[in-house]
Amino acid sequence: MSSDITRKLVLGAGAALAVSATLYACVATGSKGGNLVTGDAASAVYVPPGSYDEYYAFLSGGYSGQISVYTLPSGRLIKQIAVFSQFPETGYGYDENTKDMLRTSYGFVPWDDSHHPELSQTDGVPDGRWIFINGNNTPRVARVDLSLFETTEILELPNAAGGHASPFTTPDTKYIVSATRFSVPVPNTDVAIDTYKKNFKGVLSFISADQPGKMDIAFQILMPGYNYDLAHAGKGPSDGWFFFTTYNTEQAYEKLELNASKNDKDVIAAVDYHRAEACVKDGKARSMPVKYAHNFKDEATHIAKSELKTSVKVLDPRDCEGVVYLLPTPKSPHGVDIDPSGEYIVASGKLATVIPVHSFSKMKKAIADKAYDGDVDGIPILQYTATIAGEVQKPGLGPLHTEFDGKGNAYTSMFISSEIVKWKLGTWEVLDRIPIYYSVGHLMIPGGDSKQPWGKYLVSLNKITKDRYLPTGPELAQSAQLIDISGDKMKMLLDFPTIGEPHYAQALPAEVLKDKQVKYYQLSENRNPGVVKAESEGGITRSGKRVDVKMAAIRSHFAPDNLEGVQVGDTVYFHVTNIEQDWDIVHGFAVLGANNAELILAPGATRTLKWIPQAPGVYPFYCTDFCSALHQEMQGYVRVSPAGSNVPLTANISKKTLAQMNGK
Amino acid sequence: MTRIARVLTAVAALIMAGAFAVPLWQIRLLAPQYPEGLGLLIHVNTVRGAGHNDLASINSLNHYIGMKAIDPAAIPVLHIMPWVLGALVVGALAVALAGRRKLLAAWLGAYAVAAALGLMEFWKWERDYGRNLDMENAIIKVPGMTYEPPLIGAKQLLNFTAISLPALGTILLGVAFLIGAYALFHSVRAARAARMEEGTASSAANDAASQATSPRLQPAGGH
């Protein structure tokens, strides 16, 4: 009974706080709808036709499983990068080339929940080589090549469930990490859920990431069965350390909402990963049989390959003294963010009334002095007072994440009071606050988690949209807001809708990426087994029930464009090559009754569509991307005959090709 | 020829030889769909795209209007031009060695004729590609429309603006010609000066001889 009363009180107090926060926001701004735009915000975000934006921004697509690319300050969507979910718009995950990208040890998993994009770094600064992103549901990390804006590699994480604290990078991109949100039995076996404390474990995975096509798990660290939430690498003086937030140190396994919110403090796990490397090298990690998929796109053939790996090195901190320390941190910390200098470790306790900031130098001293407050499974807990540098007082309600502007200021998102708070590193005083519409989760300053923030804009990635856009039934737009942080006062500039729920985002100046974009694939370097490099190379062949069609697509026809001799019961593979070598001349390929998708073909690319005709007849195929003035003429027919028919297998070629072949 | 004229003629030969390495002429093609432009570069021995794949792109576009594909190997003049240019370079060097003014004049004459023929060939080539269309297989047919780019200047060809201009190679050839011409002028002027001086000197000598012999005076002049 008493716990029921407590719960009601807590909820009541929460509601009262939320109401007063809303009132506070209204009183503070004197505005009803939150139209807080001051000055000439329109011209600050207006990019005239023909001009470019200043920044590329990569927003997680949340449960869309993808990354969406926006440009700032205009907030325009310019691209969706298909990562963890099938994408019928391009055929990603459907065609024979890319479907193996979505293989896992659980079989074909054609969707995921993507949370945290992370740009690769060199010397702690985003370098624009790759962007990584996590799949939260079936723990995976993906690499997107930023000269192609295309997913080129996906690695699954064994011993994990809920790859949430992922894929944060070391300053040299040697490792990205992935820590389990849900602790599970390791190895995962059939045990009673109420044996949680005994059987459930968390793992922190360190993934070698600096060799494209060769991502692998360097080692995993076996941790107490908490929920691992977010992470960031140290930099500068703290380079070589990785910090992970945890909640549910209560080790609850039911009604976590209440039961995981009881402890006054949870912990941040500080990992000395060079120490871990040394222990692994000394053979202190054990090899554990597991199954996890590694998928990567072969550059020469444009075909994804999938391999199943069977072993991972797992390090128990008890076998490697000094590899992990725990920093007590108030109330279910969510984000752990390291300032550009590398000295301050900012933790945001979701339910805390302050923002605690740990000091890396004090942490080192506390370790040297053995200022311990007990241990968990042999992992020392450092004294809170020995590591804390300061606390930001009365920051607002529900602090989640912090980013930095490189000018000594920090910006923290406040979910419950729906605002962003600017405060000063070192003095911990609140300098400014701006209301957000509504309930900000992550916030993002370009480079704001790196050594070198480009501190001009801040993007607020919001969880609730309510009345900000024209209503669209029960499910409303997802939304982000752009804020000018170049002056003393934050200025609201723009609302822009997003695809899926935007969790975290990354951004960097346009100059870093725009001149390194691949305009088309070199046809001469295409090693796909189904490639045709000239129209005359097209044709059709049969091998039992399998029919292979090699076809060229070029303005404005397919070669061949008439196919006969296919029979019901055959499986047809269309290998279509866009033999154009011209920027932005893309062709598509779609055939009547296809059960998978169409193909979108970049110039110089070959892709393969599998097609199983069900009944005799004539089936048209056509180009789906308006390629030229005669795009509507870009079509052909496949004749399908009954099984056992004696219609010969033939493929014509175009008149033009015939003319060329006859030397005319 | 004066020594200076001989050196200049040799220099002209070297500058001309530079035209082997760079394009002689350029054709830029701009269209709404190609704001970055496509381009053709005409070298003494080949035609190539300005961008990595421009020639293939242009050929691909030209199939719509029934134009022949531009195949450098199939353009006869491109097989002859390197020999003509080579002969002119060797000729200039020979003239510089021989140092004969008349040879220099002959070389300049040959050069002028070759240049005129070259330009005419180029014009004929443009005209052949632009007008000699495969109308049976042309997809876009505009009555009365032809597609030859201008020799020099700009012209609208459907959605493309074609801009044709001499390139560095032609500038080098022009400079070489001007140097050759100046060398001839220099030699002629020197010869004339020498002749005049000879005339003056001999009358002076006659004057002097009537009084006293002067061994100082040596007749000077070219060949």
Q: What is the pTM of this model?
A: 0.87
Which residues pair with residue A222 across a beta bridge?
Answer: A203
> Which run of H or E residues covers position B4?
helix B3-18
Q: Are A452 and A494 in contact (CB under 8 A)?
A: no
Q: What is the mean pLDDT of residues A289-316?
A: 97
Q: B52 vs A550, A580, B42, CA distance in Å?
A: 26, 13, 15
**Cα–Cα–Cα angle for A214, A220, A223, rounded to 5 degrees:** 160
Give A409-423 as a 3 state SS string: EEEEEECCCCEEEEE
Q: Are A621 and A637 in contact (CB under 8 A)?
A: yes
- Which parts of B66-111 are beta strand (E)? none
**Separation between Cα atoms, residue A345 and residue A355, nearest integer Å:** 11
A629 lies within 8 A of chain B by CB: yes
Confidence of residue A663 (pLDDT cuts 50, 70, 90): low
Taking residue B223's Cβ as centre, other Cβ atoms within 10 Å add up to 9
Q: pLDDT digit string (tens) for A586-596?
A: 999 999 999 99
B53 lies within 8 A of chain A by CB: yes
Q: pLDDT digit string (tens) for A478-526?
A: 999 999 999 999 999 999 999 989 999 999 999 999 999 999 999 999 9
CB contact under 8 Å between A659 and B139, yes or no, is no
**Which of A144-153, A267-276, B192-201, B207-216 comes out lowest in average pLDDT?**
B207-216
**Mean pLDDT score across all residues of chain B:** 87
Please report, in angstroms and rounded to a whole number, the separation of the first and last CA atoms in chain A: 94
**Mean pLDDT score across all residues of chain A:** 93
**Helix, strand and coil percent figures for chain B, each rounded to 5:** 55, 15, 30
Q: What is the pLDDT of residue B206?
A: 62
B140 lies within 8 A of chain A by CB: yes
**Separation between Cα atoms, residue A302 and residue A305, nearest integer Å:** 10
**Separation between Cα atoms, residue A565 and residue A463, nearest integer Å:** 56
Chosen for mutation from A581, A631, A632 (greatest number of chain B CBs closer than 10 Å) is A581
pLDDT of residue B34 exceeding 70, the answer is yes
> Which run of H or E residues covers position B176?
helix B168-211
Q: pLDDT digit string (tens) for B70-112?
A: 998 888 889 999 999 999 999 999 999 998 999 999 999 999 9
Q: pLDDT digit string (tens) for A155-195?
A: 999 999 999 999 999 999 999 999 999 999 999 999 999 99
Q: A140 vs A63, A149, A212, CA distance in Å?
A: 14, 19, 16
Chosen for mutation from A582, A627, A632 (greatest number of chain B CBs closer than 10 Å) is A582
Q: pLDDT digit string (tens) for A227-286?
A: 999 999 999 999 999 999 999 999 999 999 999 999 999 999 999 999 999 999 999 999
Three-state secondary structure call for residue A337: strand
**Separation between Cα atoms, residue B89 and residue A82, nearest integer Å:** 60
pLDDT of residue A660 exceeding 60, the answer is no
Facing residue for A659 by CB, picked from B53, B56, B137: B137
**Cα–Cα–Cα angle for B173, B176, B181, rounded to 5 degrees:** 125
A489 lies within 8 A of chain B by CB: no
Please name the residues in contact with A204: beta carbons below 8 A apart, sequence gap of 6 or more: A165, A177, A178, A179, A180, A220, A221, A223, A228, A242, A244, A269, A271
Q: Are A577 and A525 in contact (CB under 8 A)?
A: no
Could you give the ipTM of this predicted complex? Answer: 0.71
Q: Among candidates A556, A570, A566, which has minimal Cα distance to A633?
A: A556
CB contact under 8 Å between B60 and A629, yes or no, is no
Q: Among candidates A38, A56, A126, which has minimal Cα distance to A487?
A: A38
CB contact under 8 Å between A629 and B140, yes or no, is yes
Q: Are A420 and A434 in contact (CB under 8 A)?
A: yes
Q: Among candidates A182, A64, A77, A166, which has minimal Cα distance to A116?
A: A166
Question: Tokens 């910390």 belong to which residue?
Answer: A333
pLDDT of residue B221 exceeding 50, the answer is no
Give φ, ψ of A161 to 5 degrees: -150, 115
> Which run of H or E residues covers position A595?
none
Please name the residue of chain A whose CA is at the shortest distance from the CA of residue B62: A555
What secondary structure letter does DSSP report for A52? P
- Which parts of A425-477 are beta strand (E)? 430-435, 440-444, 457-462
Confidence of residue A30 (pLDDT cuts 50, 70, 90): very low
pLDDT of residue A28 exceeding 50, the answer is no
Three-state secondary structure call for residue A149: coil
CB contact under 8 Å between B64 and A580, yes or no, is no
B135 lies within 8 A of chain A by CB: no
**Separation between Cα atoms, residue A338 and residue A344, nearest integer Å:** 6
**Separation between Cα atoms, residue A474 and residue A260, nearest integer Å:** 31
Give exposure, A586-617, as e/b (b: 16+ Cβ within 10 Å). bbbbbbeebebbbbbbbbbbbbbbbbebeeee
Q: What is the pLDDT of residue A27?
A: 44
**Separation between Cα atoms, residue A346 and residue A448, nearest integer Å:** 13
CB contact under 8 Å between A554 and B139, yes or no, is no
Three-state secondary structure call for residue B109: helix
Q: What is the pLDDT of residue B135?
A: 83
**Separation between Cα atoms, residue A137 and residue A82, nearest integer Å:** 16
pLDDT of residue B208 exceeding 50, the answer is yes
How far does the CA of residue A150 sit from the closest CA of chain B (Å)? 23
- What is the torsion angle, in degrees rounded to the nearest 10, for the CA atoms of residue A68, residue A71, residue A75 and residue A76? -70
Q: What is the pLDDT of residue A35?
A: 55
Choice between A312 and A262, residue whose per-residue pLDDT is larger: A312
Question: Tokens 């070598």 belong to which residue?
Answer: A581
Confidence of residue B143 (pLDDT cuts 50, 70, 90): confident
Q: What is the largest CA-CA distance in chain A?
A: 94
